[in-house]
Amino acid sequence: MAAAPPLPTPFRIPRAKSLKPSSSSSLHEPFPSYKLGCSCRCEVKSFDHSRNWTTVDRFPAPDPIHIFHSPPSPLTASPMQMVASARESSGKGSKKVCLFYCAETKPLAEGVAAQSDAIELRSINWRTFADGFPNLFIPNAHGIRGQHVAFLASFSSPGVIFEQLSIIYALPKLFVSSFTLVLPFFPTGTSERMEDEGDVATAFTLARILSNVPISRGGPTNLVIFDIHALPERFYFGDNILPCFESGIPLLKNRLQQLPDSDNISIAFPDDGSWKRFHKQLQHFPTIVCAKVREGDQRIVRLKEGDPKGRHVVIVDDLVQSGGTLVECQKLLAAHGAKKISAYVTHGIFPNSSWERFDHDNGGNPENGLTYFWITDSCPQTVNEVLNRPPFEVLSLAGSIAASLAI
């Protein structure tokens, strides 16, 4: 360890005979400057070699000593100083964002824009040629130059992905300051099982396509995804895109606090995968864990740990398709004495209208149905189908998306 540098030799400062304000002093300055018959200016440096210098003006007694701290520069500031400076500057003006959207996400985009005056909706002309291929147009393309731009996508089916990818690849090249792609539901990989040679990981294919979106003036594209299904999929993305993985669980927690029986809630995970994904965000609730076991040719849901008796049990998972596992879990919890049973999934996919198999409990019959089934609006088509149909209730991602765009 290197020795500290020696202290400077003491010296005497002659007493000034006169003290007059300089002509450049201003009443608006916190400390007016003075011209002295004799003065001394010293540079004080700390011994931690942080290069953080302080200027000290020493005036003869009885005048006070004023110490002026210069604002930290990016080259010399500590991490805490940089964070404090960024927070102070961010409060002076919010980030303005031009938000584009596809036809399916228009209601969600309007909800996002309603969260902040700094978000401005911009439309796209979604047209087709006679042969069915997209004929797309971005109105007022010159008007978004130098702006922060975002696109709210929905890859609900393979047929709509190509036209949206065309827009996603075009927007960053319009000389924008930054580009953010919001894809609430990353659809591929939800049913894939890489078990045999020849299985194709389409999730990797889509991640690779998105990783090659052109960079904007501000650098790589920002990608916002909520509760991606297979956690390893986050490593599919390349270095030319910046994935931001968000969760819908905070929306659920806020909703649970509003329930009249919020002090009687237990969280049930239908399998170990769901527990690994969400238990840290819900650890202050009593926990119930179920497990799938094979009996002959059938897979049966069993209670692994926890006691649902007399509790309002909320089954939590990232997505639902046919809903078979949730139904089996509901029956199991009801058989073990649950007072009420509800469910939450971030992504309600429900192909072939499979949501119809979930009934309302009609005020306290957990063996017959659910009290609530919460989903988010990450899958717009499902939202239109289940709207105002108990037990379904939609928790909007609009606020979470608006917060992501403000980063």
Give the model confidence (pLDDT) of 390-403 as tens digits: 999 999 999 999 99
Write down the pLDDT at residue 230. 77
On the question of pLDDT at 251 being above 80, the answer is: yes
Query: Over 50: is that where the pLDDT of 325 sits?
Result: yes
**Average pLDDT for 99-124:** 97
The yes-or-no verdict on residue 220 having pLDDT over 60 is yes
Residue 27 has pLDDT above 80, yes or no: no
Alpha-carbon torsion angle 79, 85, 89, 94, nearest 10: 30
Confidence of residue 129 (pLDDT cuts 50, 70, 90): very high
- Distance from C-alpha of 338 to C-alpha of 309, rounded to nearest angstrom: 5
Say what the pLDDT of residue 122 is.
Answer: 97
Domain boundaries, the chain: 97-246, 249-376
The predicted pLDDT at position 59 comes to 44
Q: Is the backbone of residue 356 left (phi > 0), alpha (psi -120 to 50) or beta?
A: alpha
**How does residue 6 score in pLDDT terms, banded at 50, 70 and 90?**
low
Average pLDDT over residues 331-340: 96
CATH number of 97-246: 3.40.50.2020
Lowest mean pLDDT among 91-105, 162-176, 201-215: 91-105
Residue-level pLDDT at 67: 40
**Shared fold status for 97-246 and 249-376:** yes
Asked whether residue 335 carries a pLDDT value surpassing 90, the answer given is yes
Q: What is this structure's pTM?
A: 0.76
CATH class of 249-376: alpha beta
